[in-house]
Structure 1
Amino acid sequence: MEGDNRQTKSGITRRRFLAGTAAAGAVSACPGALAAAAPSAPRYRVAVIGHTGRGNYGHGLDRVWLEIPETQIVAAADADPKGLAAAVRRLGNPRPYPDYRRMLDEVKPDLVSICPRWLDQHCDMVLAAAERGVRGIYLEKPMCRTLAEADRMVAACERHGVKLAIAFQTRYSPKLAVIQRLIESGALGRVLEFRARGKEDHRGGGEDLWVLGVHMFNLIHHFGGAPQWCFASVEQDGRPICKEDVVEGNEGIGPLAGDTVHAMYRLARGATAYFDSVRNGRGSPTRFGLAIFGSRGVVQMFNTGQIPDTYFLPDSSWSPGRTGKRWIPVTSAGVGKPEPLENRGLHGGNLLAVRDLIQAIEEDRQPLASIYDARVATEMIVAVFESQRAGGPVRLPLANRCNPLTMLE
């Protein structure tokens, strides 16, 4: 079955899940040791693609290579002349190109960073890089605008043997291995549900779902398994969205609607997941993050990056006001232990991600946050709008690979 094939390629089996978690912990625990072990001469030639004014260079996807000894940035492309000049200064004077296709043709890099936050060019950029024989791609999230684009990107990378890693920086956090140990040891109990929220600022609703929810969906997929179905509602001003509510979304998202999103998913490992976002409903401090509810306690993780704020509540009632139980900080060293690592935020996550991408190329495996994981997260987003359009639950993988908002009547 097509769905089973995708599940296998995205690494959903228990063996690969545990191996991936262990690999992330190993890479995260000793990034300095890995860098020290690298040879002094660069072995990988890197090209950077940005677009000033249309997503720029993402969250540091250009600069990350400067700290990877076995790589050298040899070229940068940006259609904006001022932005290109600034990138050349910032990145150590690589060859400048106004056209990324010409850069790929002439430079023939081993690795490419596709940096713009705006996702409307992601598909074309990935196809161009894959078709020209690059070995690896580091891509800013979200992956692309539609599932049809995602399918084309996957097909191109498969056809040309390209490893693609998506910038889900939290996937590489060493804290994920600690959370997995809480699950495996039984300390958290049986995992019953996942609850995630976006930042719920002015982007709350559909834009929050795309831009920030994508991080949460990757974590839900990682811990809970592949989504089986989605049942969701999308509202505008307190009523279900209609065709007239659809507008062109920010950051190249394409057709978009909704200031309120409520979504429910059934996951392969038996738990249920929820995602919610309400415009201008943000908390202080932020509620942006993921909570994992087990039969013996709760884990909460806030924000994204290398060392996200994480806490464990050993309370089967989930109600510390009644039981007097306390939230215990979770670090990369374990529950209630001091944090031994410097928190370098998203940049730290980028360092771990590109290190893993290089290892994936050398070991001929998928990156920990692979193109298949990126497609699953995209599918979880699109399923929200497809469920709203259908008026009920929809099964995943979705049969409809287009943007459901273009099909509203």
Structure 2
Amino acid sequence: MFQPPYRAAVIGRTGRGNYGHDLDRAFAEEPKFTLVAVADEDEAGRAAASSRLGVDRSYADYREMLERERPEFVAVGPRWLDCHREMVVSCAEFGVRGILLEKPMAPSPADCDAMLSACDASHVKLAIAFQTRVSPIFEQVKTLVADGVIGPVLELRGRGKEDRRGGGEDLMVLGTHIMDLFRAVLGDPSWCFARVTDGGVPITSEHVRDGAEGIGPLAGDRVDAMYGFADSPAVAHFATARPTEPGSRFGLRIFGERGVILTGTGWLPEAYLLRDPRWFDSPGGAGWEPITSAGVGLAEPLPSGGLLDGNRRIVADLIAAVEEDRPPVVSGADGRASIEMILATYASQVAGGPVALPLADRSHPLERLKGASRG
């Protein structure tokens, strides 16, 4: 009978994505798990992980680990994207019941499709490490929106981290969080209209480059995108650029007819409410009120925590999803949707106009752009 303690294992890749944002620790500390093994192709990294996680058995080849140990849950920790498809598909083929995957999910919609198809065929639950989605503060934000505190939503705005990665890399690495939050507030997107430029000119095949960390093709030092949604008249705007000074605008702003909500990302992000239909705090205005897990204007009762706390919550939900045979709160379908929204910016730039979502062509738009130039 399938019951705890469940056999669990961790896949990492030292020097090539490592173990993500403490996905390994979230597995090691889960009381319903018995952590049986770790896999890492790097010998020194593998030894360090074994010691850190308190496991006796370790493997250079994760496939050998899956075959010999037969874990029921696996953390696929590497941040680098180039290994995600192969690792997730292998987990599904070896009978794993639940997988926690570091974001972003994969370089292309086709990769995401292959991962979800393998999981569906083997009845595997796949969860993505979008920590903000399980944050108790973000739950308060969604409740405020649903209760109409800021009135009907008119638009959402999000920006990347805009550090040295500003532009295409920022879009892929950090933009995935913002796209997921867009969907959490407004539902599934139906179209994207975007401009992607490099040095002030629209990108061409000459601007396409290989991204760092296995990201796949990238282009552009500035991205400006707008999204429409199937079930809402509101629109969402995402932008990232490579500024002269690093920005601190990473996060989400929700604009309604009667006010604004601002939230960062993570387990316990900073979040604020402004009850002002003009959308700015002026002399005599209501002022920004902090939002905590307890509500508006109340002290935060939870201890400060990082992404590990969010991943602990995601692991607990993944276990419940397997036990209850339901999708995880942050599922593989959510991970795929964020990738499609990201790549829709390139598809729109290449098409010279809006593109429909989900994307009909499952290949990478920048690969098609390079192919068109060669043809």
Task: Please tell me the TM-score bracket, short chain as reference.
Answer: over 0.9
* CA shift for structure 1 position 42: 5.2
1:256 aligns with 2:222: no
2 CA distance for matches of 1:92 and 1:233?
A: 49
Which residue pairs with 1:244 in the alignment?
206
* CA shift for structure 1 position 321: 2.2
List runs of 5+ in structure 2 lacking aligned partners: none
Which residue pairs with 2:319 in the alignment?
358
1 CA distance for matches of 2:83 and 2:29?
A: 27
C-alpha contact (below 8 Å) 1:247/1:257 kept by paired residues: yes
Which residue pairs with 1:274 in the alignment?
237
Paired residue secondary structure (1:47): strand
Match of 2:48 among 86, 95, 111: 86
* CA shift for structure 1 position 301: 0.6
1 CA distance for matches of 2:196 and 2:252?
A: 20
Paired residue secondary structure (1:150): helix
C-alpha contact (below 8 Å) 2:154/2:257 kept by paired residues: yes
Which residue pairs with 1:132 in the alignment?
94
2 CA distance for matches of 1:315 and 1:361?
A: 44
Which residue pairs with 1:197 in the alignment?
159
C-alpha contact (below 8 Å) 1:73/1:94 kept by paired residues: no
1 CA distance for matches of 2:315 and 2:35?
A: 13
Which residue pairs with 1:348 in the alignment?
309
2 CA distance for matches of 1:265 and 1:184?
A: 20
1:52 aligns with 2:33: no
1 CA distance for matches of 2:95 and 2:349?
A: 40
Q: Describe the superposition over 1:293-343 as per-residue Cα deviations: whole angstroms up to 9, x where unpaired.
A: 0111100012x2211110000011102126522000000000001101112
User: Over the residues paired in the alignment, what is the CA RMSD in angstroms?
Assistant: 1.3
* CA shift for structure 1 position 249: 0.2
Runs of 4+ more than 6 Å apart: none
> More displaced, 67-76 or 228-237?
67-76
Identical positions, percent: 54
Which residue pairs with 1:393 in the alignment?
354
Letter of the 1:405 counterpart: L
* CA shift for structure 1 position 270: 2.1
* CA shift for structure 1 position 175: 1.4
Letter of the 1:265 counterpart: Y
1:287-326 matches, within 5 Å, as: 287-302=249-264, 304-321=265-282, 324-326=285-287
Q: Describe the superposition over 1:142-164 as per-residue Cα deviations: whole angstroms up to 9, x where unpaired.
A: 00011001111111111100001
Paired residue secondary structure (2:23): coil
* CA shift for structure 1 position 348: 0.8
1 CA distance for matches of 2:302 and 2:249?
A: 24
Which residue pairs with 2:150 in the alignment?
188
C-alpha contact (below 8 Å) 1:313/1:327 kept by paired residues: yes
Q: Describe the superposition over 1:91-131 as per-residue Cα deviations: whole angstroms up to 9, x where unpaired.
A: 10241100001110110001000000000010000000011
Q: Describe the superposition over 1:207-229 as per-residue Cα deviations: whole angstroms up to 9, x where unpaired.
A: 00000010011111011110100
How many positions carry a matched residue from both structures?
Answer: 367
TM-score of the two chains, using structure 2 as the length reference = 0.96
C-alpha contact (below 8 Å) 2:27/2:75 kept by paired residues: no
Match of 1:407 among 355, 359, 368: 368
1:217-232 matches, within 5 Å, as: 217-232=179-194
1 CA distance for matches of 2:143 and 2:23?
A: 30
